[in-house]
Amino acid sequence: QSIAADLRTALQSYQGLAVWYQPLMDIDGKNMVGVEALLRWDHPTRGAIPPGDFIAIAEETGLIIPLGEWVLREACLTQQRFPDLMVAVNVSPVQFRATGFVARMIDIVRECGGDPQRIELEITEGVLIEDEHEARAIIIALREAGFRIALDDFGTGYSSLNYLSTFPVDKIKIDRSFTQSLGVAENSVAIIESVVKLGHAMGLTVTAEGVETTGQMSALADAGCNQLQGYLFSKAVPLERLGDWMR
Ligand code: G
Ligand code: G
Ligand code: MN
Ligand code: NA
């Protein structure tokens, strides 16, 4: 039985699938400003399979579309339980390019009682490259519907700085490789500072991912970042444990 077949089976009842949440913190690392929804799959025989190992298969098979829509529905239900909670949801390039994507996002949020103003759709630079004109139209339509847009894994793509001026996003999430180069690679501070400067010049919120040490936290604060995310604060946790974070 292939992973793809098992995933298709799992999607019939969502058995074994779960959405966990990783806190996003303010720059002091003291207050939670939102969460990122992250898929988890407990396979019936293989045990936990990391998303890195099944997202690509889900994309190849098209299963990422029902899977991604389910994550958004779960995020909306979580929002009903925790009013005011900002929830970030990852959007696969395959979803983004699918016909009717924007309408589906709007319908789901309406059906599930979510608040698009507090839903941040995380897209990757890859979606911007293929058809710039179409990508821009999709982003504009999503924003008109009230969604916020974040550019995920920022800095890992191709000629990223260019895109900032042409795509109306709300946030950039600096890839964790940059955070992890702090104190290790020579120009890491200068690179982060220039990304922050550019992001701020365009009116964007700048989040740093992969924060694991207090040294990284203070360097990111000094560089002017707005928000932090990483194991220093918390890994993704099940919904039941999010309640602890809300207090
Ligand atoms: O959750 P980490 O904990 O292991 O996630 C690994 C990768 O899987 C990341 O690139 C993350 O963006 C991606 N991922 C996790 N959850 C989702 C999801 O719901 N949808 C999509 N498209 N990607 C996800
Ligand atoms: O691509 P995206 O940013 O959506 O992926 C989020 C991924 O980053 C998940 O796999 C999540 O578990 C992982 N992650 C979150 N915080 C940290 C961290 O502090 N260190 C490392 N190494 N990975 C992290
Ligand atoms: Mn993400
Ligand atoms: Na990322």
| Domain range list for the chain | 24-36+62-242
24-36+62-242 — its CATH code? 3.20.20.450
Give the model's pLDDT for residue 160.
61
Counting beta carbons within 10 angstroms of the beta carbon of residue 83, is it exposed (0 to 12), middle (13 to 18) or buried (19 or more)? exposed
Give the model's pLDDT for residue 74.
97
Quick one: which of 225, 193, 229 has its CA closest to 209?
A: 229
Q: How far is the CA of 133 from the centre of ligand 2 (A)?
A: 30
Mutate to test the pocket of ligand 2, among 22, 124, 171 (most ligand atoms within 8 A of CB): 22
What's the mean per-residue pLDDT of the chain? 94
Mutate to test the pocket of ligand 1, among 38, 70, 125 (most ligand atoms within 8 A of CB): 38
Measured CA to CA in angstroms, residue 14 lies from 19, 58, 109, 232 at distances of: 11, 14, 19, 31
Confidence of residue 157 (pLDDT cuts 50, 70, 90): confident
Residue whose CA lies nearest to ligand 2 atom number 22: 210
Strand partners of residue 17: 41
* pLDDT tens digit sequence for 119-144: 999 999 888 888 889 999 999 999 99
In ligand 1, the atom with minimum distance to the C-alpha of 19 is 19
Report the alpha-carbon distance of residue 13 to residue 206 in Å, rounded: 37
Q: How far is the CA of 209 from the centre of ligand 2 (A)?
A: 7
Report the alpha-carbon distance of residue 116 to residue 184 in Å, rounded: 39
In ligand 2, the atom with minimum distance to the C-alpha of 236 is 12
Query: Which runs of consecutive H residues, i.e. helices, occur in 112-222?
Result: 126-130, 132-144, 160-166, 176-181, 188-201, 214-222
* pLDDT tens digit sequence for 158-185: 656 777 888 899 999 999 999 999 988 8
Cβ pair 38, 236 in contact under 8 A: yes
In ligand 2, the atom with minimum distance to the C-alpha of 90 is 4
Give the model's pLDDT for residue 129.
80
* pLDDT tens digit sequence for 5-64: 999 999 999 999 999 999 999 999 999 999 999 999 999 999 999 999 999 999 999 999
Give the model's pLDDT for residue 185.
87
